[in-house]
């Protein structure tokens, strides 16, 4: 690990504490739920940080709320714009509605229908783009130039990252002496925020990332030392199809203990297991953490483990909860 004095990182524990105070009235302090049945099966003490119970059904409510509430009055009056596959889009639309400012959202055309509908429920009609990062960003810049709105990146924004970091603060307050915290990684907003909160508070707590094999750019980035782009955009964990950010990557590279890759079948199975054993409805992106544990149970045996269930916006029309034959 690098000497902390030689590394300049985008956010600090102070930023996360400030975010926690700023957003407290507008987000849910979600529970960290002990799962007795899976704990017995796996030989560990397993808790789920249930961000699927958060407003808009995902942790993204935190970062978007912090970013919108941090805008000055002049900027806020012109509104906000972002690109997102769904949960940040809904979170920003909700935050903007609470502050009563305009919101503009660019979404990949292959976004889950239920996530598109959630954005529309806040009175925002998405502008659609191709699913690759370049198309999303280009479309977003066009909308921004047309509206004058403030661009609120879905993850590579210090206020968004600090808001997501409040998940880590709450885990440390709710679970006594956790040994391991597992977070999903897509763009890295949640992971970088949790890493900052945990490593600046309890540096001996191990933080592990879980990532789909079909969206393994974070794994490749850590190995190469530079941000690598996704090579495909079809993992069932649609919220994790994005590359790491210029602000999130340095924090992840500096603090992360390990990263575990999980296959598509494992992710689907974890969604079912969360429903049947923990009675939690998770979208695939939120189930990758349990998938990682189920794939390597010996890694977590006799430890107190917290798996972040990052979202619960499961498309029930598209996802079959029945076990595969």
Average pLDDT over residues 223-234: 94
DSSP per position, 69-126? HTS-HHHHHT-EEEE-SSHHHHHHHHHHHHHT--EEEEEETTS-HHHHHHHHTTT--P
On the question of a common fold for 4-59+158-309 and 61-151, the answer reads: yes
What CATH code would you report for 4-59+158-309?
3.40.50.1100
Q: Tokens standing for 174?
A: 């709710």
Q: How are strands ordered across the β-sheet holding 127-129? A: 127-129, 103-108, 80-83, 150-151
What's the CA dihedral at 266, 272, 274, 278 to 10 degrees?
-140
Do residues 74 and 67 lie in contact, with contact meaning Cβ atoms separated by under 8 Å?
Answer: no
| pLDDT at residue 113, rounded to an integer | 85
Q: List phi, psi (to 5°) of 106.
A: -105, 130
Residue (of 223, 276, 233) closest to 290 by Cα position: 276
What CATH code would you report for 61-151?
3.40.50.1100
CA separation for the pair 316, 323 (Å, rounded): 14
Average pLDDT over residues 168-175: 98
Q: Tokens standing for 42?
A: 């796996």
| pLDDT at residue 6, rounded to an integer | 59
Say if pTM beats, i.e. exceeds, 0.85: yes
| Domain layout of the chain by residue ranges | 4-59+158-309, 61-151
Q: Which residues contact 123 (CB under 8 A, 6 or more apart)?
A: 93, 97
The per-residue pLDDT for range 295-314, each reduced to its tens digit, is 999 999 999 999 999 999 89
């Amino acid at each position: 690990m690098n000497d902390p004095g030689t590394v300049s990182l985008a956010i600090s524990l102070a930023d996360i504490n400030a975010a926690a105070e700023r957003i407290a009235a507008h987000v849910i302090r979600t529970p960290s739920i002990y799962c007795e049945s899976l704990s017995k099966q796996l030989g560990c003490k397993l808790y789920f940080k249930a961000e699927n119970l958060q407003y808009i059904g995902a942790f993204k409510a935190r970062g978007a709320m912090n970013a919108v509430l941090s805008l000055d009055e002049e900027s806020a009056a012109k509104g906000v714009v972002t690109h997102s596959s769904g949960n940040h889009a809904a979170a920003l639309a909700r935050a903007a509605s609470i502050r009563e400012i305009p919101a503009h959202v660019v979404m990949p055309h292959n976004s889950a229908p239920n996530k598109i509908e959630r954005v529309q429920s806040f009175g925002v009609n998405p502008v659609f783009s191709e699913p690759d990062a370049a198309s999303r960003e280009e479309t977003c810049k066009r909308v921004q130039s047309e509206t004058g709105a403030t661009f609120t990146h879905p993850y590579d924004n210090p206020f968004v990252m600090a808001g997501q970091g409040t998940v880590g603060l709450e885990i440390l307050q709710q679970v006594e002496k956790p040994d391991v915290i597992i977070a999903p990684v897509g763009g890295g907003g949640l992971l970088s925020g949790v890493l900052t909160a945990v490593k600046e508070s309890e540096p001996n707590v191990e933080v592990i990332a879980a990532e789909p094999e079909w969206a393994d750019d974070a794994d490749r980035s850590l190995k190469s030392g530079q941000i690598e782009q996704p090579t495909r955009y079809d993992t069932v964990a649609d919220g994790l199809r994005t590359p790491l950010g210029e602000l999130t990557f340095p924090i992840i590279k500096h603090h992360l203990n390990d990263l575990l890759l999980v296959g598509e079948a494992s992710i689907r199975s974890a969604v079912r297991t969360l429903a049947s054993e923990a009675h939690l409805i998770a979208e695939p992106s939120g189930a990758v953490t349990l998938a990682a544990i189920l794939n390597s149970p010996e890694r977590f045996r006799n430890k107190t483990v917290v798996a972040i269930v990052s979202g619960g916006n499961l498309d029930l029309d598209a996802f079959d909860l029945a076990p595969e034959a």
